[in-house]
């Protein structure tokens, strides 16, 4: 894949970790690990494990395109890969390739390997992003800017609090990705998730056991074949599942959830950057904006654009994976097959977004002078809430609202400052009211003096590790 349709993930570590070649290598790794696990528990000779591992360690000898085309015959790539691997190992090891396993054991385990490795890459980039946002939040703890609700000026906030909020989402994503990463399991159940073939091979190539050996194990005893699952997990550095999960798709659903959340969490910061970097706002800008094919003057917020694109695509991919939870029988026709590409796409999208978010945060330029200018755009109306709280005890709530509404209208219509207009009105009202004469309108209408607990909230957010 050249990546022409996916610039957000093109060239990213996540793209490389989820490539066709990486998937092919993961399937071979799973096959080799299965043979080694069987050797570790006495179900295969060590020489067979060594031989299979040696061949599997060279994925370049297998043609991924040929395997993909041959996968049409059986519906998945494991079947032709096993045939090629079996033919490539010495004759004495051939019988131990894929022994007792089913295609889903290898394919699901391989997907978990790719997910684990890509999650590690995502976590590394989230750590970069978090550190850069922490620096921005600390540096701009007291940098006042307009707070905006429903696209309009609301009350002042600080850029430090905004950056701290972005960081909080990144940490939420980190914790979720790390939690799922720690629990990613191998899949090993055999044809229908009963471990039957492994039990048979363990008994000696299918020779009947002594009477009573096929009875369910007593409570607390390990199910026959489970020690092989544990050995398989150890070989690959993944978790041992309580049950085969061939139709219990919790691991895939959990990945869908955290990856979509992570893309969305990064998308929130990107959406803010897109708004704040508009030409007419220009309160922030990307450190290395992208160019235009037709307009030389442009410096487009490309990183934020690519992150936003990923955030918009991720929920649809997650929905497909959630839809596959309703899987019939012991292997569904279609539901399982529908998972493979969306899961890989989601890993790639989120991995690319995490890389871009790190670059965006590390290079983001903040323009406090523009923020200050915009605080004054409405002539002080941005702090009308503060005046309402001040005047209500003196004039009564209804009268205060009437006064402030009139002052706001005159401020807009006459192009004067809120403080000037309000001073005139209060002078008229306060002829016999000393309390009104003592109001410091310069202080009360200074937007930088009405950021509430923004600084303390920023400090509190930065304490989180």
Q: Which positions are catalytic?
A: 292, 331
Q: Which two tokens stand for residue 420?
A: 């000037």
Is 113 exposed, middle or buried, given 0-12, 13-18 or 19+ CB atoms closer than 10 A? Answer: buried
β-strands 144-149, 152-158: how paired? antiparallel
Q: Who's near 191: CB < 8 A, 6+ residues apart?
A: 102, 197, 330
How far apart, in whole angstroms, are the C-alpha atoms of residue 79 and residue 72? 10
Chain centre distance of CA 95: 42
Q: Which two tokens stand for residue 150?
A: 């429903």
| Dihedral sign computed on CA atoms, order 260, 265, 270, 271 | positive
How far apart, in whole angstroms, are the C-alpha atoms of residue 79 and residue 67? 9
How far apart, in whole angstroms, are the C-alpha atoms of residue 115 and residue 112? 5
Q: Which residues pair with 300 in a beta bridge?
A: 290
Q: Which residues pair with 365 in a beta bridge?
A: 285
């Amino acid at each position: 894949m050249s990546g022409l349709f996916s610039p957000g993930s093109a060239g990213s570590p996540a793209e490389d970790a989820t490539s066709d070649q990486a998937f092919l290598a993961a399937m071979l790794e799973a096959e080799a690990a299965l043979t080694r696990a069987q050797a570790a528990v006495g179900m295969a000779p060590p020489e067979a494990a060594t031989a299979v591992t040696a061949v599997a360690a060279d994925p370049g000898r297998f043609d991924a395109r040929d395997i993909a085309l041959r996968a049409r015959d059986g519906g998945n790539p494991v079947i032709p890969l096993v045939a090629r691997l079996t033919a490539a190992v010495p004759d004495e090891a051939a019988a131990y390739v894929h022994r007792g396993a089913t295609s889903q054991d290898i394919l699901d385990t391989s997907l978990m390997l790719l997910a684990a490795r890509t999650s590690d890459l995502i976590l590394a980039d989230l750590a970069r992003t978090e550190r850069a946002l922490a620096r921005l939040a600390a540096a701009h703890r007291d940098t006042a800017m307009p707070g905006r609700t429903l696209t309009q000026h609301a009350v002042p906030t600080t850029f430090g609090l905004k950056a701290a909020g972005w960081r909080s989402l990144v940490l939420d994503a980190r914790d979720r990705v790390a939690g799922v990463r720690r629990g990613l399991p191998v899949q090993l159940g055999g044809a229908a998730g009963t471990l039957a073939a492994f039990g048979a091979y363990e008994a000696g190539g299918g020779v009947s056991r002594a009477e009573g050996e096929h009875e369910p194990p007593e409570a607390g005893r390990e199910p026959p074949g489970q020690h092989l699952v544990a050995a398989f997990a150890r070989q690959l550095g993944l978790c041992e599942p309580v049950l085969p999960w061939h139709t219990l798709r919790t691991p895939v659903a959990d990945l869908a959830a955290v990856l979509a959340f992570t893309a969305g969490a990064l998308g929130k910061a990107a959406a803010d950057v897109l708004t704040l970097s508009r030409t007419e706002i220009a309160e922030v800008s990307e450190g290395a904006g992208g160019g235009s094919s037709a307009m030389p003057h442009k410096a487009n917020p490309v990183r934020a654009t690519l992150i936003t694109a990923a955030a918009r695509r991720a929920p649809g991919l997650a929905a497909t994976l959630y839809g596959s939870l309703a899987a019939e029988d012991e292997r569904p026709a279609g539901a399982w097959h529908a998972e493979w590409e969306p899961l890989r796409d989601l890993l790639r999208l989120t991995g690319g977004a995490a890389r871009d978010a790190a670059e965006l945060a590390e290079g983001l330029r903040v323009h406090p002078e523009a923020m200050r200018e915009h605080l004054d755009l409405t002539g002080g109306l941005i702090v009308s809430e503060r005046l309402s709280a001040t005047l209500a005890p003196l004039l009564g709530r209804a009268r205060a609202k009437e006064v402030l509404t009139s002052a706001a209208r005159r401020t807009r219509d006459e192009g004067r400052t809120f403080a000037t207009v309000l001073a005139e009105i209060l002078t008229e009202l306060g002829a016999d009211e000393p309390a009104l004469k003592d109001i410091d309108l310069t202080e009360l209408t200074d937007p930088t003096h009405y950021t509430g607990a923004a600084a303390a909230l920023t400090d509190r957010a930065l304490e989180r590790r």
